[in-house]
Structure 1
């Protein structure tokens, strides 16, 4: 039986490759919020420009952006703004990986192995 549904689940999990010094890239599961095509456009306008958007400034709230797209992670520490900020400070390239994984999953883009 197919697992495709007319209405997708509100969240989905996807592995994100995180570079850990001395260990290389390790996979870590994140839980993301599903958005359809229209909702993705609204999300992007809200955060990056367009009608009703947040103004582009030097103090862009990158943690808020991530918190708006993600709903959790597999770490034992609670998924909250403070811990996400600490995680990205400790693994600086991971924010870009989280964002790209989110949009690749929504678009159905294939990843290279």
Structure 2
């Protein structure tokens, strides 16, 4: 068992299943930034009038796609696969708040 640390690692990786219409879901591994609860509340308030891509870019720091990780490409992903928005944010919050599904 891994030793518990009082302060969380700054980033963590998770595979996200992205729904694709008419196809099987695609898998992308994202690197997420770990935020403290107080920081999450603060940036959620700051970003409430911003685009979804800006919010996702705040919590994601990289991905396993061949394309460069940047805001323009994130907007392409989210515009082409709108279900990715919920898939990405759901995984992030489940990991942060420890609400993982049991296998």
Which category describes the TM-score, using the shorter chain as reference length? 0.7 to 0.9
Q: Does 1:103 align with 2:56?
A: no
- Partner SS, residue 25 of structure 2: strand
Map of 1:40 onto structure 2: 40
CA distance in 1, matches of 2:32, 2:65: 14
TM-score (norm 1): 0.80
CA distance in 2, matches of 1:61, 1:20: 22
TM-fit CA distance, 1:27: 2.6
TM-fit CA distance, 1:107: 0.3
- Partner SS, residue 62 of structure 2: strand
Query: Which of the two has higher C-alpha Rg?
Result: 1
Deviations 1:77-113 (A, max 9, x none): 1100111111112211101111111111100112266
Deviations 1:43-97 (A, max 9, x none): 222223xxxxxxx4xxx31111111111011101110011111111221110111
CA distance in 1, matches of 2:93, 2:60: 11
TM-score (norm 2): 0.86
Q: Which runs of 5+ in 1 are unaligned?
A: 49-55
Map of 1:91 onto structure 2: 81
